[in-house]
Amino acid sequence: MAPISIKRILISESVDPCCKKILQENGIQVTEKQNMSKDDLIAEIKDYDGLVVRSATKVTADVINATGNLQIIGRAGTGVDNVDVDAATKKGIIVMNSFNLTHKAITVAWSTPVFIVLMISQFMGAEMYGKILGIVGLGRIGKEVATRMQSFGMKTIGYDPITPPEVTATWGVDQMSLEQLWPQCDYITVHTPLMPSTAGLLNDTSFAKCKKGVKVVNCARGGIIDEDALLRALESGQCGGAGLDVFVEEPPKNRALVNHPNVISCPHLGASTKEAQARCGQDIALQIVDMVMGKGLVGA
Ligand code: NAD
Ligand code: MLT
């Protein structure tokens, strides 16, 4: 790939300091500005060749169309769902994320057991031993969740349209259709990207097929569990508890779900360990430096 000239980069969120350091060591001028409104970002972005974001910055078509010489949008994290990739592609802007997400998977995989333990830590608890956990999405994080929960004696079942059943069987997950999975689970955790086929995966119809009192965890993306359906299920007792790290709107303005007594929530902290953030910040910086040097591009 031909080298690309990147002289100025805007980091619009709290990204590990190693990202800035690596970029600066490679002759790139870095500006860090956090908590910008959309209008602030639109006014600011025209002066930069590159933009580095995490989850909070919404890189919409309006933002992309306000850019002047932007060449690259780097996301220090999993997926690129807060970036309008079509709008960027039309402007010839490369969009990439951190390629090595192993640390992130290890970090996020801890959120599920923490939520489950918190949901059962009442004056009278419940054993995890022997309970059935349904894992929807058996990629990097789904796999790490499965092995952790098995260590508590949980039986792990799951569904993934791409990861083959013979592969998940080697890490102790029995795959089956969602129709077969819903009625068996004591707990359900989702680890898919948010896309049309996963939006509202758990909805009124699927909750109705679950065991009464099923407990659910969403550390993936807001909207995979339909929030209105979840609230109805919590109110009727069909759902016995929810652990939520992510919301359709972040921070959530509709407080009914967050304030529900059977909901434990976090403000999108699933990937927030020093190790995972350092790795993501380092990777995205090195990937941008590779691009400047004309080396091949990678992403995940
Ligand atoms: P991954 O790509 O390794 O795994 C995703 C899996 O979902 C894949 O195996 C894919 O086949 C499966 N999938 C796709 N469509 C599906 C469907 N309809 N039903 C069931 N499975 C389906 O991604 P990952 O690294 O494991 O991350 C999973 C998700 O976790 C990410 O997409 C992201 O949304 C979320 N995440 C959240 C945080 C956080 O801070 N809370 C951090 C990192 C990632
Ligand atoms: C995510 O994919 O949800 C992010 O990586 C979270 C983060 O930026 O910490």
How confident is the model at residue 222, as a pLDDT? 97
pTM given for the model: 0.94
pLDDT tens, the chain, 300 aa long: 677 889 999 999 999 999 999 999 999 999 999 999 999 999 999 999 999 999 999 999 999 999 999 999 999 988 899 999 999 999 999 999 987 777 778 999 999 999 999 998 877 889 999 999 999 999 999 999 999 999 999 999 999 999 999 999 999 999 999 999 999 999 999 999 999 999 999 999 999 999 999 999 999 999 999 999 999 999 999 999 999 999 999 999 889 999 999 999 999 999 999 999 999 999 999 999 998 998 877 766
How confident is the model at residue 123, as a pLDDT? 76
How confident is the model at residue 98, as a pLDDT? 86
- Residue located nearest, by CA, to atom 5 of ligand 2: 77
Which atom from ligand 1 is nearest to the alpha carbon of 271?
Answer: 40
34, 52, 55: which to mutate for ligand 2, most atoms within 8 A of CB?
A: 55
255 has catalytic annotation: no
- Residue located nearest, by CA, to atom 4 of ligand 2: 77
How confident is the model at residue 240, as a pLDDT? 97
- Residue located nearest, by CA, to atom 9 of ligand 2: 271
The Cα 36–Cα 126 span in angstroms is 44
Joined together, the tokens standing for residue 233 give 């299920």
Q: Judge contact between 109 and 141, C-beta under 8 A.
A: yes
275: enclosing H helix or E strand: helix 274-292
The Cα 105–Cα 58 span in angstroms is 23
Question: What residues form DSSP beta bridges with 244?
Answer: 218, 265
- Residue located nearest, by CA, to atom 2 of ligand 1: 139
The Cα 177–Cα 237 span in angstroms is 25
For ligand 1, whether the C-beta of 159 sits within 6 Å is yes
How confident is the model at residue 84, as a pLDDT? 97
Ligand nearest 136 Cα, by number? 1
Give residue for tokens 């999108």: 268
Neighbours of 170 (CB within 10 A): 8
How confident is the model at residue 299, as a pLDDT? 63
Ligand nearest 82 Cα, by number? 2
250 has catalytic annotation: yes
240: enclosing H helix or E strand: strand 239-244
Q: Of 233, 221, 231, 234, whose CA–CA distance to 255 is shortest? A: 231
The Cα 140–Cα 104 span in angstroms is 9
Question: What residues form DSSP beta bridges with 31?
Answer: 10
- What residues are in contact with ligand 2 under a 6 Å CB criterion? 54-55, 77-79, 271-272
103 has catalytic annotation: no
Note the residue count of the chain: 300
How confident is the model at residue 300, as a pLDDT? 63
Which atom from ligand 2 is nearest to the alpha carbon of 277?
Answer: 9
Which atom from ligand 2 is nearest to the alpha carbon of 78?
Answer: 2
